Structure 1
Amino acid sequence: MSFSFFGNDKPTVAQLLASLPQQGRVEWLGLRPARREPMRVVAQAQAETDRHLLGDHARPQPGGKRQLTLIQHEHLTAVAGFLGLAAPLDPGRLRRNLVVSGLNLLALKNRQISLGEEVVLEITGECHPCSRMEEELGAGGYNAMRGHGGLTARIVRGGLIRLGDVVRVVPPAA
């Protein structure tokens, strides 16, 4: 889809929001085995439809909006830069389940994405940082994460998520 910004063919906001031709990639997968335990880095994870990732301690209710969490790979370097830490940050320190590169995840709020050949997620909202980021990242960790905390998602269709899976935007239903 291409637009000309001259004349009467200026795109509408709806057209601009729908224009997401990029695809991304799953760069990292992690499970939280128990509250406050270190993340367990995995090469693949089983997503249960409308539930959670198997092996993750979170047990959201069916229909819940926070069945798994994602963070933008590109933001790991930004947050590290704000804190003067080595970049990129180890994603396990941020306690998100998936790290995705190549897509602006925030632009996908209220949209669906597919991961690999099986899994479909609905991006439900922002994953705001908590005070624990001060413990993990040091003074200023909470504020460094503001606007970079990632997103929450509901598992629309479960299946196996693998490291390296292609992440695509699901076109909206007609």
Structure 2
Amino acid sequence: MEELESVAVSAEGGLDGDNRGRFTERAVTVLGSEGWQAAVAELDGADALHWTLRRANLLTRGTELPHGPGGVIMVGDTVLEVAGETRPCSRMEEQFPGLLKALSPDWRGGVTCRVLQSGTLSKGDPVRTLISPPAPARPALPG
């Protein structure tokens, strides 16, 4: 993962230079800092884990991300629609034991988004939730 100061994002290709952006439902993945910190706080010795281990495209602070498909956020001049939850996978467990389970509740793993309005994402851009539908129910992970 490479941290950038800014990056162009489009409805056609997602983040400039990110080959996963061609999948429009997953054009941009967004992780809320608060959810990441809550997950890390549950793990002994994990306080130094960097958010890029989650492999999300964007980290937000101070804004509750919508927890349901159809939610809409504006980041700078870019508008993103939540397509779904970024469900944690076994790769998280490889990064740190227990991280998969810690990221599972309350959409802590972030959201996958499609691009509604192209623009440029820059560090420090304001983030606003425009539409926040109720979160769908889902079963808990075993164990």
- 1:97 is aligned, of 44, 57, 61, to 57
For residues 67 and 115 of structure 1, what CA distance do their matches in structure 2 show? 14
Structure 2: gaps of 5 or more residues: 133-143
Q: Which residue does the alignment assign to 2:138?
A: none
Matches within 5 A, 1:6-155: 39-61=1-23, 64-87=24-47, 89-107=49-67, 109-116=69-76, 118-137=77-96, 139-147=97-105, 148-155=108-115
1:59: how far off?
4.1
For residues 75 and 89 of structure 1, what CA distance do their matches in structure 2 show? 13
Compared with structure 1, are the counterparts of its residues 107 and 134 closer, same or farther at alpha carbon in structure 2 (3 Å cutoff)?
A: closer
For residues 114 and 20 of structure 2, what CA distance do their matches in structure 1 show? 13
**For 1:92-147, what per-residue CA distance to the aligned partner results, in whole angstroms no more than 9, with x for missing partners?**
1110001111122134641222111x21111111000010011111x222111112
Provide the aligned C-alpha RMSD in A. Answer: 1.9
Compared with structure 1, are the counterparts of its residues 169 and 141 closer, same or farther at alpha carbon in structure 2 (3 Å cutoff)?
A: closer
For residues 85 and 55 of structure 2, what CA distance do their matches in structure 1 show? 14
1:169: how far off?
2.5
Compared with structure 1, are the counterparts of its residues 143 and 167 closer, same or farther at alpha carbon in structure 2 (3 Å cutoff)?
A: same
Amino acid at match of 1:95: R
Instruction: Count how many residue pairs are aligned between Structure 1 and Structure 2.
Output: 130
Structure with higher Rg: it is: 1
For residues 76 and 170 of structure 1, what CA distance do their matches in structure 2 show? 22
**For 1:18-41, what per-residue CA distance to the aligned partner results, in whole angstroms no more than 9, with x for missing partners?**
xxxxxxxxxxxxxxxxxxxxx001
For residues 171 and 129 of structure 1, what CA distance do their matches in structure 2 show? 24
8 A Cα contact 1:50 1:157, kept in partner: no
Percent of aligned pairs with the same residue?
Answer: 32
Compared with structure 1, are the counterparts of its residues 58 and 75 closer, same or farther at alpha carbon in structure 2 (3 Å cutoff)?
A: same
Structure 1: gaps of 5 or more residues: 1-38
Structure with more relative contact order (C-alpha pairs < 8 Å, separation 6 or more) = 2
